[in-house]
C-alpha cells in the first residue's frame, strides 16, 4: 500500500535524524522493523526523492543536516492532526490567522497523493462551537508585535472595570477555552503580567524594541510560573 510505504519511509527518515554519526544498515533495519533488503531499497527511494543520505552498506548511513521532509511524507495520524489543528485555529483565532490555517492546509493537500488528499476531506475529527467573549484588541497587530519583539501601549480594563495605561513587552499569546491572554512584561509593574485580550480597550504600536529578546522573556516567565503555580487564564493581578 502507498500509505504504508510512505509511513515506512518516514520512519526511516526519523530514525536517521536521531543519529548524528553513521549508523549501520543492520541497526537501522532493526530500529524501523524491516529486513535489511527492504532497508536498502528504502534508502534508494529516499535518495531518489532528494534525501541527502550519505554512506553505503558495510560503512553506515547518515542524513546530511538541512534536509527538509517533503509534505508527501505524512502518516494518517499526522494528516488528522493537521486537519484538527487547522479547524481549531479557524474557530478560535482572528480572521487573518484563520485564513492562513485554511491556506496552509490547501497547500499541503496540493502535494499529497490522491488517497491521502481524500483524507483531508473525509476525516471525522470535529471542533465544537466555542463560547469566546467579544474581542476588543487588534489580534493581528498583537501577533506582529510579538514576532517583531516590539513594545505596545495599551489601555487595560481590570475585572472591576478600572482602566490603566501600560507599556508592555508582549512575548506570548495563550488561547484558553473561553479567553485569550497576552503574556507580557509590564513596565509599570516591573514584572510579568497576563492581559485578557477582551479587556484591552486600545492598543498602539510604539516603534520601540522590547528590552529583552522574546526567548529570554519566555524562559524567565516559565520559571516564574513553575515557581508560583499560577495559571495564566486565571491571573489578572494587573
List pLDDT tens digits, range 90-118.
Answer: 888 888 998 888 888 887 777 676 666 67
Assigned domain for 218 exists: yes
Q: Does pTM top 0.75 for this prediction?
A: no
Domain boundary among 35, 63, 91: 63
Alpha helices in the chain (DSSP H): 2-17, 25-32, 36-48, 76-92, 95-111, 114-122, 139-148, 214-228
**pLDDT at residue 69 above 70?**
no
Assigned domain for 10 exists: yes
Q: Are 8 and 81 part of one and the same domain?
A: no
Assigned domain for 220 exists: yes
Q: Are 163 and 219 part of one and the same domain?
A: yes
Report residue 120: phi and psi, to 5°. Answer: -60, -35
Give, as one character, the DSSP assignment of residue 161.
Answer: S
Taking only Cα atoms into account, the Rg of the chain, rounded to an integer number of angstroms, comes to: 24
pLDDT in tens, 9-66: 888 888 888 888 899 999 999 988 899 999 999 999 888 877 889 998 888 999 887 6
Give the C-alpha separation, 155 to 45, whole Å: 58
**pLDDT at residue 71 above 60?**
no
Residue 193's pLDDT is 94
Assigned domain for 130 exists: no
Q: What is the percent of the chain with per-residue pLDDT over 90, rounded to a whole number?
A: 41
Q: Are 50 and 88 part of one and the same domain?
A: no
**pLDDT at residue 151 above 90?**
yes
Domain boundary among 17, 36, 63: 63
Higher pLDDT, 133 or 84: 84
Q: Are 54 and 99 part of one and the same domain?
A: no
Q: Are 148 and 211 part of one and the same domain?
A: yes
Q: Are 38 and 116 part of one and the same domain?
A: no
Q: Are 166 and 93 part of one and the same domain?
A: no
Residue 127's pLDDT is 82
Residue 3's pLDDT is 44
Assigned domain for 213 exists: yes
pLDDT category of residue 7 using cuts at 50, 70 and 90: confident
Q: Compute the C-alpha angle 125/112/90, nearest 5°.
A: 40
Most confidently predicted of 110-114, 164-168, 226-230: 164-168
- Cell digits of residue 199: 479587556
Average pLDDT over residues 159-179: 92
Q: Are 57 and 23 part of one and the same domain?
A: yes
Give the C-alpha separation, 176 to 146, whole Å: 18
Assigned domain for 115 exists: yes
Domain holding 49, by residue range, is 2-63
Contact between residue 155 and residue 163 where contact means Cβ atoms under 8 Å apart: yes
Q: Are 158 and 206 part of one and the same domain?
A: yes
**pLDDT at residue 217 above 50?**
yes
Q: Are 117 and 158 part of one and the same domain?
A: no
Q: What's the CATH number where 195 sits?
A: 2.30.30
Assigned domain for 134 exists: no
Q: What's the CATH number where 17 sits?
A: 1.10.10.10
Assigned domain for 237 exists: no
The number of folded domains in the chain is 3
Q: Are 117 and 154 part of one and the same domain?
A: no
Q: Are 159 and 224 part of one and the same domain?
A: yes
Work out the burial of residue 53: count CB atoms within 10 Å of its CB; fewer than 13 is exposed, 13-18 middle, 19 or more buried: middle
Residue 76's pLDDT is 76
Amino acid at each position: 500500500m502507498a500509505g504504508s510505504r510512505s509511513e515506512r519511509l518516514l520512519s526511516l527518515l526519523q530514525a536517521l535524524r536521531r543519529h548524528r554519526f553513521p549508523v549501520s544498515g543492520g541497526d537501522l533495519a532493526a530500529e524501523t522493523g524491516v529486513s535489511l533488503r527492504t532497508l536498502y531499497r528504502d534508502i534508494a527511494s529516499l535518495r531518489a526523492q532528494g534525501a541527502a543520505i550519505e554512506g553505503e552498506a558495510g560503512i553506515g548511513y547518515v542524513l546530511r543536516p538541512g534536509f527538509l521532509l517533503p509534505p508527501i511524507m505524512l502518516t494518517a495520524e499526522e494528516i488528522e492532526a493537521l486537519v484538527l489543528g487547522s479547524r481549531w485555529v479557524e474557530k478560535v483565532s482572528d480572521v487573518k490567522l484563520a485564513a492562513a490555517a485554511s491556506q496552509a492546509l490547501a497547500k499541503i493537500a496540493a502535494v499529497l497523493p490522491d488517497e491521502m488528499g481524500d483524507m483531508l476531506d473525509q476525516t471525522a475529527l470535529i471542533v465544537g462551537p466555542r463560547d469566546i467573549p467579544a474581542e476588543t484588541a487588534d489580534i493581528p497587530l498583537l501577533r506582529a508585535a510579538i514576532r517583531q519583539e516590539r513594545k505596545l501601549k495599551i489601555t487595560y480594563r481590570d475585572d472591576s472595570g478600572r482602566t490603566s495605561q501600560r507599556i508592555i513587552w508582549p512575548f506570548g499569546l495563550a488561547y484558553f477555552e473561553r479567553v485569550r491572554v497576552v503574556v507580557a512584561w509590564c513596565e509599570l509593574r516591573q514584572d510579568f503580567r497576563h492581559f485578557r485580550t477582551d479587556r484591552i480597550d486600545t492598543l498602539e504600536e510604539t516603534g520601540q524594541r522590547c528590552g529583552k529578546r522574546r526567548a529570554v522573556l519566555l524562559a524567565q516567565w516559565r520559571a516564574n510560573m513553575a515557581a508560583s503555580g499560577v495559571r495564566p487564564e486565571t491571573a489578572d493581578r494587573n
